[in-house]
């Protein structure tokens, strides 16, 4: 990565060094106290670890606005090799689209231009069940979201736009996924309780179907969901459900006994230590590996602590195996397979294999080859064959008045429908990261990392021009740029952006009218949560 590109922290730093608690609530206020905590607490990985593998990364990636991911490396690999991949995100039509939503619009459009199959959906069932929106309100806001997405460059002929309520395939898939979910995990993930209406819970299952829908349209493929971190609960649940509906689970195994993931890692370590390079044919007995593992101390750190906790059970399992030799193999575990699918899998495994009740061990396949084979057999026998979806996470924009950007505080955000002059005025009135006086600003420099106006440049106004973003940042922190002139420049650019965007929205009216999307629904209902 280019070290000269300023990396935004999204305005989340706190002067006293403290952080807020991390809480990911899809229907609450969009706020994260410390993005770093998401890596440890929820297993989100740092995007910096994968960005160099992304062909021509988007400026939101280069500037650190997109800060985290789950398995985006699979999408990046497909993109680099011109292989199929997809992207999908949804929009709950509860108000006007604003500059925060533009981040997701841009991410979808960029993935489409990289060759992905891209889907944009209106989460109208969620808006009705979780926010109590009337169908008339939903229709109006849905139209507005779609117009902005089209105006920003989404190609409806190369992608798909739909409403949850009109997509029967999504609703049918949601029904199947719902059979693998239960209330206790909704309670744990979302905090649902006895007061939560059933339609709200149903809308969650529908969203898991939305996330997997791109793999239903053509074939299972790497699929990325660009979202804010508050939507991660939906991603985690969908990844679990995508695994639960699979016919087979493919794992590494070493003997007839079963191991969990941590135990498997420990046994692999023992096996590698006891098997000299080039002598894989030599027998390593289970009991021998148990004695070696009993003396093994996993490395320090969180990962080592996890392995340390798993060591007693791994040692006990190996000792129980006695003289059974350890021999690496790939194991197909029967999860939901039909009898015909299981028999077809046995037939399809080439080379040495052992067949047991409920699983098949293959000795001549790599893990990737086994995954591909299991998926092909599953699809041939009317299964879904889903891959776990990937995700990328962008930082929340700071409100123009400081604190959180909120749709309920007009001065804190800029709607994509705002009059361009109003947008100009909001920027010139915005809070900044400047010092108390011009003299102090020149002496100490501004605090660009704490400045909502700098965020406007980094997230939106500079667009693909890294040079402009770097110039604004550097001049600010070096005391060469004063807030008045900086805001005037940003306000002028915002006014121009809004004027141009709204012209393109007017042009997109004809495009939207030609799409098969019902924006004048005759549904009846009273809504859910209020």
Which three-class secondary structure state does DSSP give residue 412? helix
- Residue with the bigger pLDDT between 347 and 35: it is 347
**Mean pLDDT computed over 432-460:** 91
pLDDT above 50: residue 290: yes
DSSP sequence for 441-479: HHHH---GGG-HHHHHIIIIITTT-HHHHHHHHHHHHTT
Average pLDDT of span 260-288: 85
Cβ atoms of 374 and 332 closer than 8 Å: yes
Distance CA 397, CA 10 (A): 6
36: confidence class by pLDDT, cuts 50, 70, 90: low
User: Residue 12's pLDDT is what?
Assistant: 32
| Model pLDDT for residues 233-273, shown as the tens digit of each residue | 899 999 999 999 999 999 999 999 999 999 999 999 999 99
pTM more than 0.75: yes
Intra-chain end-to-end CA distance of the chain, in Å: 46
> Across the chain, what does the average pLDDT equal?
89
Q: Which residue would you say has higher pLDDT here, 163 or 277?
A: 163
Q: How far is CA 262 from CA 238, 314, 368, 371, in A?
A: 23, 9, 20, 20
pLDDT grade for 195, boundaries at 50, 70 and 90: confident
Q: Is the per-residue pLDDT at 39 higher than 70?
A: no
- Domain locations in the chain as residue ranges: 35-245+388-394, 249-380, 410-504
- Average confidence (pLDDT) over 410-432: 93
The Cα 464–Cα 361 span in angstroms is 51
Task: Assign 80 a pLDDT band (cuts: 50, 70, 90).
Answer: very high
Widest CA span in the chain = 80
Residue predicted with more confidence, 299 or 410: 299
Q: Which of 175-189, 193-207, 393-407 has the lowest mean pLDDT?
A: 393-407
The tens digit of pLDDT for each residue in 465-479 reads 999 999 999 999 999
Map residue 61 onto helix, strand or coil. helix
Spatial CA neighbour of 451 closest among 480, 465, 430, 436: 430
Residue 332's pLDDT band (cuts 50, 70, 90) = very high
H-assigned helices in 257-334: 261-274, 286-294, 302-321
For 1-42, the DSSP string reads: --TTS----TT---TTS--PPP---TTS----S-HHHHHHHH
Q: What is the mean pLDDT of residues 217-224?
A: 94
Burial class (CB in 10 A: 0-12, 13-18, 19+), 140: middle
SS3 210: helix
Give the pLDDT score at 401: 85
Domain 410-504: CATH superfamily is: Tyrosyl-Transfer RNA Synthetase (1.10.240.10)
- Cα dihedral sign, 439-442-445-448: positive
Three-state SS string over 372-402 comes to: HHHHHHHHHCCCCCCCCCEEEEECCCECCCC
Q: What is the mean pLDDT of residues 325-332?
A: 96
CA distance 88 to 226: 7
In this structure, whether the domain defined by 35-245+388-394 belongs to CATH 3.40.50.620 is answered with: yes
Residue 475: name the closest of 434, 436, 512 by CA.
434
Pairing state of beta strands 359-362 and 353-356? Answer: antiparallel
Average pLDDT over residues 213-223: 95
| Res. 405 pLDDT band, cuts 50 70 90 | confident
Band (302; pLDDT cuts 50, 70, 90): confident
Q: What integer is the mean pLDDT of 329-339?
A: 96
Distances (CA, A) of 269 to 135, 230, 301: 58, 37, 17
pLDDT at residue 33 above 80?
Answer: no
Q: How far is CA 429 from the centre of its chain?
A: 34
Per-residue confidence at 8, pLDDT binned at 50, 70, 90?
low
Q: Could you tell me whether strands 329-334 and 284-285 are parallel, antiparallel, or unpaired per DSSP bridges?
A: unpaired
Rounded-to-integer distance, Cα 344 and Cα 346, Å: 5
Secondary structure of residue 84 in the 3-state scheme: coil
- Tell me whether the CATH fold assigned to 35-245+388-394 matches the one assigned to 410-504: no
Section 1-28 average pLDDT: 44
pLDDT confidence of 5, banded at 50, 70, 90?
A: low
Rounded Cα distance between 285 and 378, Å, is: 35
The span from the CA of 471 to the CA of 236, in Å, is 39
Contact 142, 493 (CB under 8 A): no
The secondary structure of 182-195 as a DSSP string is: -HHHHHHHH---TT
């Amino acid at each position: 990565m280019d070290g000269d590109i300023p990396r935004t922290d999204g305005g989340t730093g706190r002067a006293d060094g403290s952080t807020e608690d991390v809480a990911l609530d899809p229907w609450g206020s969009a706020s994260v106290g410390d993005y770093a905590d998401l890596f440890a607490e929820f297993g989100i990985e740092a995007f910096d670890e994968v960005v160099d593998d992304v062909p021509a990364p988007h400026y939101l990636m280069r500037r650190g606005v997109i800060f985290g991911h789950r398995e985006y490396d699979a999408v990046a690999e497909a993109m680099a090799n011109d292989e199929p991949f997809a992207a999908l995100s949804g929009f709950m039509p509860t108000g006007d689209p604003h500059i925060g939503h533009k981040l997701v619009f841009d991410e979808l459009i960029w993935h489409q231009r990289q060759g992905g199959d891209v889907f944009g959906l209106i989460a109208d069932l969620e808006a009705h069940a979780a926010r109590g929106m009337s169908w008339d309100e939903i229709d109006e806001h849905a139209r507005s979201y779609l117009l902005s997405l089209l105006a920003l460059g989404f190609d409806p002929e190369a992608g798909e736009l739909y409403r949850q309520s009109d997509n029967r395939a999504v609703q049918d898939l949601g029904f199947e996924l719902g059979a693998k979910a239960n209330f206790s995990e909704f309670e744990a993930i979302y905090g649902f309780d006895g007061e939560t209406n059933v339609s709200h819970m149903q809308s969650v299952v529908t969203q898991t179907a939305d996330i997997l829908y791109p793999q239903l349209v053509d074939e299972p493929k790497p699929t990325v969901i660009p979202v804010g971190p508050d939507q991660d609960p939906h991603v985690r649940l969908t990844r679990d459900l995508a695994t639960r509906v699979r016919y087979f689970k493919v794992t590494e195994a070493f003997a007839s006994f079963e191991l969990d993931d941590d135990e498997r890692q420990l046994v692999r370590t023992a096996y590698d230590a006891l098997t000299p390079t080039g002598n894989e044919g030599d027998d390593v007995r289970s009991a021998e590996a148990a004695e070696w593992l009993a003396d093994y101390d996993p490395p320090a750190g969180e990962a080592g602590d996890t392995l340390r906790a798993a060591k007693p059970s791994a040692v006990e399992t190996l000792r129980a195996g006695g003289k059974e030799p350890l021999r690496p193999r790939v194991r197909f575990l029967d999860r939901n397979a039909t009898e015909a699918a299981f028999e077809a899998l046995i037939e399809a495994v080439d080379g040495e294999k052992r067949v047991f009740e409920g699983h098949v061990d293959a000795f001549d396949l790599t893990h990737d080859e086994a995954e591909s084979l299991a998926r092909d057999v599953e699809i041939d026998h009317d299964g879904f064959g889903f891959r776990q979806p990937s995700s990328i996470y962008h930082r929340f924009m700071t409100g123009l008045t400081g604190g959180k950007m909120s749709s309920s505080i007009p001065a804190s955000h800029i709607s994509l429908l705002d009059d361009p002059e109003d947008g100009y005025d909001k920027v010139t009135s915005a809070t900044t990261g400047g010092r108390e006086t011009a003299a102090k600003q020149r002496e100490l420099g501004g605090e660009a990392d704490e400045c909502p106006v700098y965020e406007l440049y980094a997230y939106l106004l500079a667009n693909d021009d890294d040079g402009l973003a770097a110039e604004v940042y550097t001049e600010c922190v070096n005391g060469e740029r004063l807030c008045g002139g900086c805001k005037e420049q940003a306000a002028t650019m915002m006014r121009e952006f809004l004027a141009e965007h709204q012209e393109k929205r007017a042009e997109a009216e004809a495009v939207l009218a030609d799409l098969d999307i019902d924006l004048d629904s005759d549904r009846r209902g009273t809504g859910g949560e209020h």
